[in-house]
Amino acid sequence: MLFCNCSFQYDFLGELIMLDRNKFQIEREQFLEAFCEKITSILGLEMNAKFNETRFYRFTDIAFELANFGTMDNFLGFNEFDLVAFVETMETMLPTVANNMNIEEEYPTLTTAVSCLGLYSSLYIVEDEYVANYCEITHEAVAAVLGVKVSTLKNMVSLKSLAAMNNHELRQYLESQERFKPFKQYDSVSLDAPLDLSSVRTCSALIYAIEQRAIKYNLVDTLETVYSKTGVNADSDSNIKFIALFSLYGDIARKIGSFLGKLNLDLPSLIVAVENVAHEMNSALANSSSLENYLRPSEQSGDRDTLEATAKPNVFQKPNISFTADNLGDYLKVEYDFSTHPDDRSKNKKLFALKKGSLSIAIERTKTPSIWVTHNMAKRLNSSDFEITWYESSEDGVGRHSGLHTYKEFHTAAIAKVKVKSFDHAERLISQLL
């Protein structure tokens, strides 16, 4: 099982400070990279295409939230058997990857989160006691959910007596401790905050969220009208509803977009969800960039303009769209026909990559977006137009953004980082690169 010191932080008074989100995300990316790129390559395997990263991120997100708050969002969706299998697997894989002589990295925050997930699963989540027992509750896990070190736990209770407790007795002990965070379930769909849909990958989950938000915001009649105009019944299959909502253009699409805009959905995550579902359906029916257009319909009028908008939506109606890295990425997809880079895992919080023909670019999510290109490509740029930072080639990829290691063009090659300040600035950049 997992044997490590907990990675909670404490102030000088010894008060609990929760797991650090940034450290957790960094360790998660490091583990994923080590497992997918180093471990499998040592074995001579190509597992990236088969490894379900979505499930990995979903379960680790659940683990992190439980560790910090004792809460779990049911909307994330999980199967209790899969949850137990994940914990059991991670309990083996984390120390295996960490102790590999080719890696030698530690993942204390990620390990702590997984330990907490195992404990809460055993005591509160999994109803089948036989299945729950697959998640062994260690002293490290008990210490983690109490927010103390194992050495401190030894002063609080006899480890021998703790090991002798059954699940009922252990629940009683934990719930008697002031530091323990009671287990609570909720459904984020019912909350007033903008709904994050980034973890959604199935039609049923996305349609469920949309229909539940329609109920919450008294828009059921509007939704039924939308379904009716697209020839869909309220009891139709969720796949059919998805196609009806996200595969149309023109006036109907704008009306659908207006409806979606009233549901208090997080737009970037909605775009991700549509792309995820479309990918799972092996379909080209959904297009994240057209969704931007639906939620921001053109103010131009006239038959000719309408026809042009229908044929090719004018997605980025500058300056109505804020200039961010993600919007820049969508802009390049729409206006210049870039596509997601084949090496992009779509989960790197720091950067992502696009590709068009022989041109690959990586976009860093900074306040002023930075674009990474190869040295040879950067030579095409007018130095008076751009702020360029040059990086020499590196045998091991050291000395550049760690997220670039995912992409073969940027891992070890000589590269350059270019600051891009606006959509117009991006147009100038792409025109020179192409």
According to DSSP, the residues that pair with 363 across neighbouring strands are: 352, 371
CATH top-level class of 325-433: alpha beta
Residue among 47, 55, 119, 48 nearest 86 (CA) = 55
Q: pLDDT for 256-294, tens place per residue?
A: 888 888 898 888 888 888 887 877 765 333 344 444 444
Give the pLDDT of the chain (434 residues) as one tens digit per residue: 333 333 444 433 344 546 788 888 898 888 888 877 666 555 555 544 455 677 788 889 889 988 888 888 888 766 778 888 888 888 888 888 877 766 667 888 898 899 889 899 888 888 777 776 777 787 888 888 888 878 888 888 888 888 888 888 999 999 998 888 888 888 888 888 888 887 787 888 888 889 999 998 999 988 888 888 877 877 788 888 888 888 766 567 777 888 888 898 888 888 888 887 877 765 333 344 444 444 444 444 444 443 333 333 344 555 557 788 888 888 888 778 788 888 876 566 788 888 888 889 999 888 888 899 998 888 888 877 888 888 888 877 777 788 888 888 888 888 889 998 888 888 888 888 87
Report if pTM > 0.75: no
Rg (CA), the chain: 25
According to DSSP, the residues that pair with 370 across neighbouring strands are: 364, 419
Where are the CATH 3.90.1150.40 domain residues in the chain? 325-433
Q: pLDDT for 404-427, tens place per residue?
A: 888 888 888 888 899 988 888 888
Round to whole Å and give the CA distance between 63 and 72: 9
